[in-house]
Structures are given as structure tokens and as C-alpha cells.
Structure 1
Amino acid sequence: MKAYVAGVGMTRFEKPETREWQYWDMAREAGGAALADAGITYSEVEQVPVGYCFQPSTAGQRAAYELGLTGVPVYNLNNNCATGSTALMLARQLVEGGCDCVLALGFEKMRRGALGAGTDGGDFATSPVARHYGVLAARHGFAATPPTAQIFGAAAREHMDLYGTTEAQLAAVAAKNHRHSAHNPYAQFRDVYDVAEVLASRTVHRPLTKLQCSPTSDGAAAAVVVSERFAARHGLAGLVEIAGQAMTTDTEESFASGSCIDVVGQPMSRAAARQAYERAGLGIEDVDVVELHDCFSINELLTYEALGMCGPGESGKLVESGATTYGGRWVVNPSGGLISKGHPLGATGLAQVAELVWQLRGRAGERQVAGARVGLAHNIGLGGAAVVTLVRAV
């Protein structure tokens, strides 16, 4: 049985403590928008997978109750930064297994400042990602800067040493995504910066500057996933098919090399992409628009290679060529990506799909990718999980 996205919604992503709201307020806004977009009511929803990382147990119920008290199952999910796409994946699986209408919901209310050792902010000895940071420490040592910036900064330096990638090419990723976000009313940041300004911003961990790092954010996103028979029965329009999807976790390849390029998830992403392409019967050559996990500028370059957009080590030249922006072969992160749109962990993967749905419907306004018919979402979390989703206009 096929699964379709019938409606999407999201809040604006905002700097923590900007607005007086709670996570259930965000969920009500995003979930209500997704239901309205689909043209259905919450009473027609059969199951609700909910993703978040920093809220307490059963926060999913507290959030979903804002939409209705119908007694349907609510699942609480946490897969680090890949949490939103995990909720979407469970929704798809539920529909393919026989459900007719599932609401995937993701949200996060965060604290200001950099993330700690794990989603609980605890120490490294008990962190779920202690093994990952052990690779960093063994090869590069450990500094006093934010840990996620350290591990991705180390991956960037390895890429530079191996392939000659330049700091200007890393900065070009951020400049592109900040430029794209200027047209996104949901983005946390809408200021435009050129490469020189990106490079001149404060260094967080060499070679990554502040404007190359995704911020902490508050926000929520949601998607209504339905079966073909439900869509036909309700006369739903604007459907987008989930054509192929895969989740992978770490394998021996992630750790065997002792490389931070591998430990931050490039092998996971490569495997997830391969599986998603096979399931969809599509390849990267069929894709028009991409929303990928640019938590740091280097991860966008690593993901180009993992998705097959270029060969190993060629990603710096790819972004420099203009191939991943308007007028190029693909438009990558038309929303502004995590770097500029924001990154409330539980909402990110669903917000990526919301952007793709608007793009494939031709309703993305000034950031519309002309003629977009196939989209790809890539969402990754250390610890680890990588989810690649291919969506296709109906």
C-alpha cells in the first residue's frame, strides 16, 4: 500500500526564549496547520507518532491533546537530530501496514547555547555518543569548544587535508543557505551574507565559523500521511507520494577508519540513500530539489558525496560551481537549511518534508524551484540514525 503526504504545517523557527510559548502551543500550531492543509479533522487521525529530544516522557500526549482527545495511540520518539524524519517514517510504515490516516508531529523547546554531550546534556562517560567522541579524542584531542562543533570541525579539517577543500568552499555552503532563507517566512534567520562575511564571523571550532553552524531553535512541524483509499474517499488534492524511504544506523564502517568523516555519519547517509533510491526506483539524477542536514557547512559537503551528487572529495568544487542553487543542477536547501532556517531537533526532519511538499505543489513563493517534481530529504542524528526520503508529485 502506498503512503502519501496530504498536508503539512510548521511554526516559524525562532531563537529560544524569543516567544512566550510552550511545546504544546507549537504542536497545536503546526499540527493544526497540517490538518487544515489536508482538509481533515483530528477525529479522522488513527495514530500519532511524535518526535522530540528535550521534553519529558509522554510530552507527545500533552502536545497531541491540544488537537483533540480521541484516545488514539500516541508514540513518543527520540532519535537525536533525526527525530522528525523518524516520526515520518513510522507514519509511513503505519499507513503501509493498513492505517488510513496518521499524523506525524515533531517539536522542540530548547535552551540557548550549544548542545552538550548528549540530548540529556550529561557528561561524556554516560553519553550515548561517547564512542563517537572517543574517535574524535583519539585522533584530534578534545578541546573546550562545543562538542558537536569539534567533531564536525575535525571532519572538515580531514576533508581539507585529503581533498584540498578550502575554507572558502565551506563558507560558500553557508552563504548559499543564508541567501535562500531570505525568502522563507518560517526561517529563524533571514539575513544574507557573502563568503567573506561568513569567514569573518567568530570561529566556533576551526575551520567552522558561527555562520556555518546551525543554531538552537524553538519550533514544530507536522505532516498528515494517508493511504490511497483514504485520499480517494475524501477527495484529497495536492498529494505527494513517499516514493522511497530508508533509515540506517552505524556499522563497523563508521568507526573502523578512526576518521571523523565516517563517525559523523557519511557511511550511514550513503547506505540510506542507496536503499531509498532502490525502493523508489529513482536516482539522484531524477531529483530536482533537496533538503539536507546542514547542521554544519561540512555536513552539506559530506552529504553531496553520500547522495551521489559528486564523487569523493568533489563536493567543495560542486558548491563553488553553483550546481546546488537556483540555476544549477539541483537546488539544495531552498528553505535556508538548518544553518539559517534553524534546528529544533524534533521538528527538523518534518520541516524538511514540509518544504519539499510546498515545492512539489508549486507553492513555495519566491523560493520556488521551477518545475520541481521529485524531492529528497536527508536527516541525520549522531548516535546514530540517517533517514533519506524521496517524495514525488502525484
Structure 2
Amino acid sequence: MREVFVIGTGQSDFGKTPNRSVAEMGQQAARAAILDSGVQATDLQTVFSSRVFGGMVTSQTIMMDLGVARVEMVNVENACAGGSTAVRSLYKDIAAGFVDVGIAIGVESMTTSPIAGKLIPPDKDDLDGQLGMNMPVLFALQAQRLMATHGATPEDFAQVSVKAHDFGALNPRAQYQKRFTVEEVLASRPIADPITLLQCCPNTDGAAAVVLASAEVAEKFANDPVRIAASVLVSGSYDADRSDITSFDLGRRAVRQAYEQAGIDPTDVDVVELHDAFASEEIIHYEDLGLCAPGEGVGLLRSGATSLGGKIPVNPSGGLLSLGHPLAASGVRVVCDVTDQLRGRSAGAQVPDAKVGVAQMLGGVVTGLDAAAASVHVLTR
């Protein structure tokens, strides 16, 4: 297996842009990533793209106007982890020697999707979903359990949102660049007790892209390549085996494999970008990622360690809570943002001297499983 490097990153602006097509957003991100990489679009040997909602042949639709054709193009879907799946698929092809350079793209137009302005509807055979177990309810139950077992308070969950929007105010690509107080977050519209509106990620349109390459190509073209030290994708385990809803078994398994593959432990990590569709969820991931011991996630938040200037800043991009969540784009976006941190290109939200970063994404719900997919990428300088 060969080493694989990120040599280019690109993102569109994130927001509600119903007049922008999937092709336009994808092309904006792809052009930026290709320009950043130093390669030409025609040098790309393969394309992996992800989209949850909308038409077919996403890769071909995006790349045709960039002059890329007659190469292998693959389109994947894996819920919120779809973008991460595209990155991992490209990573494997390069690591195995099938290709030397390619691009992974995640794109979503939520405002023109069939669920625009609505909750994601359950499938007809999704018993839990048909009985009302939608995303806000699931995470509200977890939040209630965190209060019962971990000593969490509604103010703690609100503080996660405050932190995210503080970061988002520093990110010109974020959908929401406004700071809030704990009181404002708590006073926003109730969604599912104890979750309020400002503790939920907004529906958003956007795209992200990364150009990956072998060591030989990276050395030739890239000014500042970042190595993918680990790439892991796992599916969920049976819900019947689950004894604690304040943890995701698949999240723990994914990160354990990633740390082992990268040859690191959690104390080596300098920065994290993770799935924070709901504010309370971030505290769960602190523990699953090993950033603290089980039961100590609330304390980690309260200590300020996950804020900018803290020991382990989490979601300095602003996360899903302020950037928004164009489903398939988010898994690529977290890899972009961690890469930019390691390159020192994150402006006001830069983590000083960051050398090791983790990009995590969780996605999908299936009745009978704790979740559908989890992906972790470890990136190093």
C-alpha cells in the first residue's frame, strides 16, 4: 500500500442558494481544489462524487465543463458519510496503485431536494421512523440521557452551539456568521426537549472537493501536501447489542482502527472536525474519539479545551451548526478543513502549529442498527 496525500482542497460557499445547480456548486469546489493542487484537470485519472438527493451521474455532470471525460467516474451514497466514503474510495485506489491522482467531491442542494424545509422522511419499512424516531428525537433522547448520567445541563448543550457560532463568525464560507449567547440559544424555538432550534444544524446547499495523490505526484506538484495517515469506514452494529445510548459503537470502532492505522493515540491529536448535527451530539463524540475518558465529555467542554486556544479545538470551522449541513458535502468538507488547519491556512480560527488532525463523519439511520456508517480520516504533517 502506497502513501496518499491531500494536495488540493476547495469549497463552495455554504448557504441557501436554490438558484445554484449541483453542477455549479460542485464545479466551484472542484476548480478550487484543482487550482490548489498544482495539477491540471486533465491530469485527473478518476473521480468519486457523493450526493444523497437529486439526479444521477453526479461526477460526470460536474466534471464535463472542467474538461474531464473518458476517465473512471464513480458516484456513491452513504447518507451524511457519503462524502467521506468518496474520499476513502479514492484513497484506496491510490494506495493500491490503480491510479496516481484523482478528485473526491461531495455536493448537495438541500433547498431544491425533495425534503426542502422538512425532516428526512422514514422509509415505509423503517419501524422506528414510522413511530416517530426522527433525528431530533434521537438526539433529544441522547441529550436527556447525558443529563441523567453525565451531569450535563441544557446550558452545556447551548455552550456547544455558542462555541460553534463563535467559530462560524470567523469563517467567510459559513451559512451563519453570527455569534449567540447561551441565553439566546436556550430561548430559541423548542424542537425536541431539551434541544432548541439553535442547537440544530440548518439545511444548506454546498460542495467540497479534495485532490488526492501518490507521494510521487505530491512531490512533483504540491507545495504543501498533507498525508492521510489513516482512512477508515465502518457500518453500524446491531442495536440489540447496545447498552448505552450516550455512545456510538461504530464511532468508537472507526476511531480505534484509525488511531491504530496511523500509529497515534488521542493525545497526539491537535484539531478535530466532526459531525455535530445537534449540539449535544458533540459531547458524545468527545468520548467516542478518546479525547477524554467515558463520562468526562461534559467536563472537557466546560474546561474550554475544545474551544479555540484550548488543548484540542473541535470544529474550528464552525461545524455543521454554523456552516450548515449539505449532507454529502460535509464528509469531504471536514477533510478540507483539517487539511487547511495543518497547512496553517485557517485565518482567524487557526490552531497554532497543528500537525495531527482528525476528520470524522457519522451518517444514516437504519432500524435495528445504532447508526449506518462512520468514517474517520487521520491527517498528518
Q: Secondary structure at the match of 1:89?
A: helix
Mapped to 2, the partners of 1:298 and 1:347 lie a distance apart of 22
Larger displacement relative to structure 2 (309-318 or 340-349): 309-318
Quick check: 1:67 aligned with 2:66? yes
d(CA) in 2 for partners of 1:15, 1:276: 34
Which amino acid letter does the alignment assign opposite residue 389 of structure 1? H
Partner of 1:120: none
AA matched with 2:178:
D
Task: Work out whether 1:178 is the aligned partner of 2:196.
Answer: no
1:85 aligns with 2:70: no
Mapped contact 1:133–1:151 kept (Cα < 8 A): no
Q: Which letter maps to 1:191?
A: K
Deviation at 1:164, TM superposition (A): 2.1
Assess, with a 3 A threshold, how the Cα gap between structure 1 residues 329 and 131 changes in structure 2: closer, same or farther. Answer: farther
Q: Find out whether 1:257 has 2:242 as its counterpart.
A: yes
Contact 1:217 1:344 (8 Å CA) reproduced: yes
Corresponding residue number in structure 2 for 1:110: 110
Residue in structure 2 matched with residue 329 of structure 1 by the alignment: 311
1:310-352 superposed Cα distances (whole Å, 9 cap, x missing partner): 1222211211110101221111100000000111011101111
Question: Is the CA contact (8 Å cut-off) linking 1:48 and 1:104 kept in structure 2?
Answer: yes
Number of the residue aligned with 2:345: 363
Distance 1:114 1:184 in 2: 27
- 2:246 counterpart of 1:247: no
Which residue identity lines up with residue 295 of structure 1 in the other structure?
A
Corresponding residue to 1:217 among 182, 193, 204: 204
Structure 2 SS opposite 1:191? coil
The aligned length equals 369
2: distance between equivalents of 1:291 and 1:371? 16
Cα gap change, 1:310 to 1:69, in 2 (>3 Å): closer
Q: Which amino acid aligns with 1:163?
A: H
What is aligned with 1:341? 323
Q: Does structure 1 residue 392 correspond to structure 2 residue 374?
A: no
Helix, strand or coil for the counterpart of 2:321?
A: helix
Give the TM-score, by structure 2 length: 0.93
Are the aligned partners of 2:37 and 2:221 in contact in 1 as well (CA < 8 Å)? Answer: no
Aligned-residue offset at 1:57: 2.1
Q: Which amino acid aligns with 1:390?
A: V
Deviation string for 1:223-245 (max 9, x for gaps)?
0000011123x342110000012
How do 1:224-373 and structure 2 match up within 5 A? 224-232=211-219, 234-252=220-238, 254-257=239-242, 260-261=245-246, 266-373=248-355
Contact 2:60 2:69 in 1 (8 A): no
1:166 to 150, 153, 160: 153
Residue by residue over 1:183-234, the C-alpha shift from the partner in whole angstroms, topping out at 9 and shown as x without a partner, is 10110100001211111111111111111101111000000000011123x3
Q: Counterpart amino acid of 1:194?
A: T
- What SS is found at the alignment partner of 1:125? coil
Question: Residue 307 of structure 2 aligns to a residue in which SS?
Answer: coil
Unaligned 5+ runs, structure 2:
366-371
Question: Which whole-Å CA distance do the structure 1 matches of 2:196 and 2:103 have between them?
Answer: 37
Over residues 34-73 of structure 1, what are the superposed CA-to-partner deviations in whole Å (9 max), with x where a residue is unaligned? 0000011111001101011002221332122122242111
* Aligned residue among 173, 185, 190 for 1:203: 190
1:236-284 C-alpha deviation (Å, 9 max, x unpaired): 21100000121111113x443375445xxx1111000000000000111
d(CA) in 2 for partners of 1:313, 1:124? 34
| Equivalent residue number for residue 50 of structure 2 | 51
SS in structure 2 at match of 1:66: helix
Structure 1 length as normaliser, TM-score?
0.90
- Cα RMSD between the aligned structures? 1.6
- Cα distance between partner residues in 2 of 1:33 and 1:255: 45
2:38 counterpart letter in structure 1: G
Amino acid at match of 1:248: V
Contact 1:16 1:216 in 2 (8 A): no
Identical columns (%)? 37
Structure 1 unaligned spans of 5+: 118-122
- 2:178 equivalent among 167, 170, 191: 191
Distance between the aligned counterparts of 2:128 and 2:41, measured in 1?
41
Cα drift, residue 357 of structure 1: 1.3
1:74 is displaced (CA, Å) by: 0.9
CA distance in 1, matches of 2:334, 2:272: 9
**Counterpart amino acid of 2:157?**
L
1:13 aligned residue: 14
CA contact (8 A) 1:16 1:110 kept: no
